[in-house]
């Protein structure tokens, strides 16, 4: 009679549990176990529900009793193994489950439980193998394949994880957990196009998921589109209240996107939330340096280092501000970072570049050059992992293509009465920041720094002509749209009649600029090529500049630049102004007046003391541009001997070693 009542209570308990009425189910199970204390099922289900209600101590006795009553019952052993796992007794849990995989090898739960136990002891390879066994026995369950993919990824085998996750996605293509793991794997493998694709798919499933917006922002930033990244990151912050670290990340994005007021606001909010956040402090240091507030920038650097002695960015900024002359204890700590295997690879490269500048400041030419070489080797290897490798043949073909698309000057319409764009172009580190500083000191000029818009316009042009359109027809059809595109995101110009764009890479677009924006003024800055090459080599450039890591590649790239500039000089003579950097500095007063006249502006005395201005300068030359002009010994100076391979390679490319122009 008691057994009958116990079975009735068990049935009621099962019904209540399936309906989600767990307190009611627990009462029925307790009654069943009380009525039939030797009923193994009643003890096991009662103990399991106690366990899942968080009553681990109460659950132990009935779970053990069930196994003691029926030691071969699979479900009862599985339930007790769950108790052992929650108690942290993983070996005991495995000892209960492993025999089940031999007794009932098709029982997928046992394989999955072994995988779960392996995860809890961080035996990820074992976990992946167990989950794979479970998936073979339950092929239609995407959750098991997901667990296997997660385990393979945590074991360090991202490629295998990706293959397994693709199998899971075939079963559940819109499952958020699967999309999120895809994003993690693509980010770890620096597959930015794949990360962007997955983030977009994730947002199709859940448009209000902040992590998906952050994944999209990361992909856009790493792909060289900081403004889009900034917008996507804003969406993430609207959906989840940002903490100090998040605001600091957003502030860095704003700096990269040249939105300095937005960066100010974000970093100030971050500082109010956590004044000791190293992420915020080093970002503040960079922003204050760009604004010319050097003492404040140094203070932020040192605060960041005090909170995080491994902040390579803070050290790099401090070394730049101090011209390499940092305190001995700071130098020792920086040197330790260059050898720290636990530092993120890009941070280690940054620290090594900074250490080179420190040695330069101390007069150690060989030590500095060695550090620059080591830093570039690190950066080159990291960029290569993302497929960013300098291809000499491809670069030569690009120059051939540009020359073929702009063989001769074509007629352009008359200039329009509007804001005049002034393009300052040349090789990076050729002096474009100095030239923009002089022009930007004029009351009628708004200095914009390095804008990306002309690069997008050039890319749009190339896409259309490669599809078969006539270059002249494309320019004629798109000229108005491109002009709107160029000026679309301009800030309030405050009455200025001209704007500067000193993106040096626009040198390859001179032909397009003169046709698409006929009212534009173009200033080409030319400098001693050994100085340019060494300045590139000693500074940390974006991963999107893969020629910067080897002196021979720098020389080749420079040779291709000189070849294209020779073509522009031959076919567009008189259409733009060429400034020889060294001559400009030797006769600065006359050169500055001629420069302003070339821009179509009347002379203003403020241009002669440009370094006193307060505008933001966000290039590598931010410190030099806030000092009176001065010319160092050209040709590599103290490093001339070490730069002989660079000079030889430049000469082999046909580059004049004084002017930087292609030899006739």
CA 555 to chain centre: 28
Q: How large a percentage of the chain has pLDDT more than 90?
A: 78
In CATH, the architecture of 252-385 is Alpha Horseshoe (1.25)
66-77: average pLDDT: 93
Residue 305 phi, psi dihedral angles, 5° rounding? -65, -35
CATH superfamily of 394-529+538-650: P-loop containing nucleotide triphosphate hydrolases (3.40.50.300)
CA distance 205 to 400: 46
**What is the band of 625 on the pLDDT scale with cuts at 50, 70, 90?**
low
Position 456 scores a pLDDT of 87
Lowest mean pLDDT among 47-51, 114-118, 190-194, 624-628: 624-628
Pairing of strands 521-526, 445-447: unpaired
Give me the chain's average pLDDT, please.
Answer: 91
| Residue spans per domain, the chain | 2-222+229-235, 252-385, 394-529+538-650
Q: How far apart are CA 390 and CA 367, in angstroms?
A: 27
| 279-307 average pLDDT score | 92
The reported pLDDT for the residue numbered 71 is 94
Instruction: Grade residue 492 by pLDDT with cuts at 50, 70 and 90.
Output: confident
**Mean per-residue pLDDT for 555-568?**
97
Check whether 627 has a pLDDT greater than 80: no
Question: Long-range CB contacts (< 8 A, 24+ apart) of 346-352?
Answer: 346/379, 346/382, 347/310, 347/312, 347/313, 348/312, 348/378, 349/375, 349/378, 349/379, 349/382, 349/540, 350/312, 350/313, 350/315, 350/316, 350/375, 350/540, 351/312, 351/315, 351/316, 352/378
Instruction: Give per-residue pLDDT as tens, 514-534.
Output: 999 989 999 999 999 999 999
pLDDT over threshold 80, residue 287? yes
* pLDDT at residue 223, rounded to an integer: 80
Provide the 10 A C-beta neighbour count for residue 163.
12
The pLDDT value recorded for residue 621 is 62
Task: Please name every residue paired with 523 in a beta bridge, in sequence order, or none if there are none.
Answer: 424, 577
Check for a shared fold between 2-222+229-235 and 252-385. Answer: yes
Segments in 240-327 forming alpha helices (H): 244-256, 260-273, 278-290, 294-307, 312-321
The partner residues of 498 in beta bridges, in order of sequence, read: 420, 445
d(CA 282, CA 297): 9
Once rounded to an integer, what is the mean pLDDT over residues 560-588?
A: 94
Identify the H or E element spanning 580.
strand 577-580
> Sheet of 577-580: strands edge to edge?
445-447, 498-501, 420-425, 521-526, 577-580
pLDDT of 636 higher than 80: no
Would you say residue 23 has pLDDT above 80? yes
Question: What mean pLDDT is predicted for residues 206-214?
Answer: 96
| 222-257 pLDDT, tens digit each | 887 888 899 999 999 999 999 999 999 999 999 888
Q: Which residues pair with 655 in a beta bridge?
A: 662
3-state SS assignment for residue 624: helix
The pLDDT of residue 2: 63
Q: What is the pLDDT of residue 498?
A: 93
- Give me the CATH code for the 2-222+229-235 domain, please: 1.25.40.10
pLDDT recorded at residue 299 = 95
Q: What is the pLDDT of residue 1?
A: 53
Cα separation of 284 and 126, whole Å? 45
What digits encode the pLDDT tens for the residues 368-391? 999 999 999 999 999 998 889 999
pLDDT recorded at residue 574: 85
Q: Taking the C-alpha atoms of 362, 365, 371 and 372 in order, what is their torsion angle to the nearest 10 degrees?
A: 110
């Amino acid at each position: 009679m008691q057994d009958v009542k116990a079975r009735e209570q068990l049935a009621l308990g099962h019904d209540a549990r399936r309906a989600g009425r767990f307190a009611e189910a627990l009462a029925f199970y307790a009654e069943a176990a009380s009525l039939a204390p030797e009923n193994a099922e009643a003890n096991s289900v009662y103990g399991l529900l106690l366990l899942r209600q968080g009553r681990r101590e109460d659950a132990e006795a009935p779970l053990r009793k069930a196994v003691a009553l029926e030691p071969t019952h699979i479900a009862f052993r599985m339930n007790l193994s769950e108790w052992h796992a929650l108690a942290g007794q993983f070996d005991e849990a495995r000892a209960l489950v492993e025999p089940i995989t031999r007794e009932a090898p098709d029982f997928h739960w046992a394989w999955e439980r072994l995988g779960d136990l392996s995860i809890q002891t961080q035996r990820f390879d074992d976990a992946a193998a167990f989950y794979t066994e479970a998936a073979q026995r339950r092929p239609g369950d995407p959750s098991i394949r997901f667990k296997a993919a997660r385990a393979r990824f945590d074991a360090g085998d991202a490629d295998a994880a990706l293959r397994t996750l693709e199998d899971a996605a075939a079963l559940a293509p819109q499952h958020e957990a699967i999309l999120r793991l895809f994003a993690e794997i693509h980010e770890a493998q620096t597959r930015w196009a794949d990360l962007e694709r997955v983030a977009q798919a994730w947002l199709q499933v859940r448009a209000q998921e902040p992590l998906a917006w952050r994944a999209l922002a990361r992909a856009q930033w790493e792909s060289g589109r900081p403004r889009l990244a900034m917008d996507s990151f804003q969406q993430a912050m609207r959906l989840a209240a940002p903490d100090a670290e998040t605001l600091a990340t957003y502030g860095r994005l704003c700096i990269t996107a040249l939105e300095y007021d937005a960066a100010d606001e974000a970093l100030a909010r971050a500082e109010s939330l956590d004044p000791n956040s190293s992420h915020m402090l080093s970002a503040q240091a960079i922003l204050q340096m760009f604004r010319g507030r050097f003492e404040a920038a140094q203070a932020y650097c040192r605060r960041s280092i005090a909170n995080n002695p491994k902040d390579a960015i803070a050290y790099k900024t401090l070394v730049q501000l101090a011209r390499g002359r940092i305190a001995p204890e700071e130098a020792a700590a920086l040197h330790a970072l260059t050898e720290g295997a636990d530092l993120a690879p890009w941070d280690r490269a940054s620290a090594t570049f900074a250490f080179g500048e420190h040695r330069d400041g101390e007069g150690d030419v060989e030590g500095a050059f060695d550090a620059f070489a080591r830093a570039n080797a690190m950066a080159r290897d990291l960029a290569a992992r993302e497929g960013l490798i300098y291809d000499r043949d491809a670069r030569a073909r690009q120059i051939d293509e540009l020359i073929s698309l702009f063989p001769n000057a074509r007629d352009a319409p008359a200039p329009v009465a509007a804001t005049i764009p002034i393009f300052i172009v040349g090789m990076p580190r050729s002096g474009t920041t100095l030239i923009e500083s002089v022009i930007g000191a004029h009351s009628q000029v708004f200095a914009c720094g390095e804008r990306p818009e002309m690069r997008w316009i050039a890319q749009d042009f190339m896409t259309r002509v490669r599809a078969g359109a006539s270059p002249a027809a494309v320019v004629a059809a798109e000229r108005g749209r491109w002009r709107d595109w160029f000026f679309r995101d301009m800030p309030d110009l405050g009455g200025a009649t001209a704007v500067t764009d000193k993106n040096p890479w626009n040198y390859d677009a001179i032909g397009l600029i003169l046709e698409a924006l006929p009212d534009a003024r173009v200033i080409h800055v030319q400098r001693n090529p050994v100085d340019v090459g060494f300045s590139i080599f000693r500074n940390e450039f974006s991963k999107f500049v893969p020629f910067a890591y080897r002196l021979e590649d720098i020389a080749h790239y420079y040779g291709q630049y000189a070849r294209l500039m020779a073509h522009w000089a031959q076919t567009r003579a008189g259409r733009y102004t060429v400034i020889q950097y060294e001559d400009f500095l030797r006769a600065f007063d006359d050169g500055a007046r001629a420069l302003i006249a070339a821009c179509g502006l009347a002379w203003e005395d403020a241009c002669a003391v440009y370094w006193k201005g307060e505008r933001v300068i966000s290039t590598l030359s931010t410190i030099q541009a806030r000092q009176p002009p001065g010319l160092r010994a050209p040709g590599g100076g103290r490093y001339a001997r070490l730069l002989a391979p660079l000079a030889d390679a430049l000469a082999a490319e046909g580059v004049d070693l004084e002017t930087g122009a292609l030899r006739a």
